[in-house]
């Protein structure tokens, strides 16, 4: 059985690259998680997890991460990604991610509404919601990523 993470942080970054993959890699670097091996997870925030502003994780670590991302090669296009984590009063929480062709503010609004809807669907109330978002105007090939990284 895998251990349950005890810490979470939210990050976001955007960048340009020569290819879609290198743009995504640079966006991960800007977000501070580019040297980790991300294990993509879904939307449940473990009970009793602590929110921290930043995580110190050794490079190459297998890191449970929920994230949204988008890449574009359309010059002038504005792309955004956002991540929202909602904490409950005494139980597990939720993680929602969003990415699209829109402003940072729209991405933040959408992901916040998604967290609220997820809580309502479970008959729960969010006591606190944390959001990270990023916006990027594409020059050649751009990428954005917003993530909730979990750690032990």
Q: What is the DSSP secondary-structure string of 95-142?
A: EEEEEESS-HHHHHHHHHHHHHHHHHHTT--EEEEEEEEEEEE-SSSE
Model confidence pLDDT, tens digit, residues 18-50: 999 999 999 999 999 999 999 999 999 999 999
The residue segments making up the domain with residue 130 are: 7-151
Q: Decide if 2 is inside a domain.
A: no
Q: Which of 132, 126, 147, 134 is nearest to 64 (CA)?
A: 147
pLDDT at residue 2 above 90? no
Q: Decide if 135 is inside a domain.
A: yes
Number of domains in the chain: 1
Q: Decide if 77 is inside a domain.
A: yes
Q: Decide if 18 is inside a domain.
A: yes
Cite the active site residues: 37, 42-43, 97
Q: What is the pLDDT of residue 62?
A: 96
Q: What is the pLDDT of residue 17?
A: 98
Once rounded to an integer, what is the mean pLDDT over residues 49-76? 97
Q: Decide if 86 is inside a domain.
A: yes
Q: Which of 127, 36, 152, 89 is nearest to 11 (CA)?
A: 36
Q: Decide if 61 is inside a domain.
A: yes
Q: Decide if 76 is inside a domain.
A: yes
Residue 33: which CATH number?
A: 3.50.20.10
Q: What is the pLDDT of residue 1?
A: 78
Q: Decide if 124 is inside a domain.
A: yes
Q: What is the pLDDT of residue 122?
A: 96
Looking at the chain, the whole-number percentage of residues with pLDDT higher than 70 is: 100
């Amino acid at each position: 059985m895998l251990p349950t993470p005890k810490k979470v942080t939210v990050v976001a970054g955007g960048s340009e690259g020569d290819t879609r993959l290198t743009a995504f890699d640079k966006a991960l670097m800007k977000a501070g998680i580019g040297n980790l091996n991300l294990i993509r997870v879904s939307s449940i925030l473990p009970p009793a997890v602590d929110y921290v502003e930043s995580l110190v994780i050794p490079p190459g670590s297998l890191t449970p991460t929920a994230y949204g991302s988008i890449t574009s090669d359309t010059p002038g296009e504005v792309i955004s990604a956002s991540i929202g984590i909602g904490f409950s009063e005494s139980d597990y929480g939720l993680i929602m991610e969003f990415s699209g062709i829109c402003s940072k503010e729209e991405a933040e609004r959408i992901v916040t509404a998604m967290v609220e809807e997820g809580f309502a669907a479970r008959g729960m109330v969010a006591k606190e919601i944390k959001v990270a978002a990023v916006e990027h105007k594409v020059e050649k090939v751009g990428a954005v990523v917003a993530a909730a990284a979990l750690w032990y």
